[in-house]
Amino acid sequence: MTTSWTDQKKRYRQYKARTQQLPEHYRTAIHALERYMEYFGPGKADTLLPMLEDLADLFEEGATNGVSIRSIVGEDPVEFAEAFLRNYPPGQWISKEQRRLIDAIATAESNEP
């Protein structure tokens, strides 16, 4: 089910309002993760918004329970972000580029002497 652009914009604003309610150190962490996930995650708002909302849920729960940032993301924030992203379908452009890379390597391999 697709939602209208105005519904998506409303949901994004609600997400941003939720993150603004977090303690400063949680906001800093979630904004960094958001940036990473917007760049490397799904490109479509239909997939990106639920992912960001789930991230907000995780950080809100952590803030409520007094969980440290490192306890949420672990020692390697990139690994955390990558593991989190694996729960969501990849963006259309990244899937296309991954397929292009796989095909190019297969072509190169088939042309090896």
pLDDT in tens, 26-75: 999 999 999 988 887 776 777 788 899 999 999 999 999 999 999 999 99
pLDDT confidence band for 112 (50 / 70 / 90): confident
80 pLDDT tier (thresholds 50, 70, 90): very high
Q: Is residue 95 very low, low, confident or very high in pLDDT (cuts 50, 70, 90)?
A: low
* Pair of tokens at residue 111: 């042309």
What is the Cα–Cα distance from 53 to 93, expressed in whole angstroms? 22
Query: Residue 21 is inside which H or E element, if any?
Result: none
d(CA 52, CA 46): 11
Tell me how long the chain is: 113
The domain segmentation of the chain, as residue ranges, is 7-110
For the chain, give the percent of residues with pLDDT over 70: 91
What CATH number was assigned to the domain covering residues 7-110? Answer: 1.10.1900.10
8 — pLDDT class (breaks 50, 70, 90): confident
User: Percent of the chain beyond pLDDT 90?
Assistant: 50
pLDDT at 104 over 90: no
> Rounded to an integer, what distance in angstroms lies between the CA atom of residue 84 and that of residue 95?
17
Would you state the pLDDT for residue 98? 72
Instruction: Count Cβ neighbours within 10 Å for each residue of 58-73 and write b for 16 or more, e otherwise.
Output: bbbebbeeeeebeebb
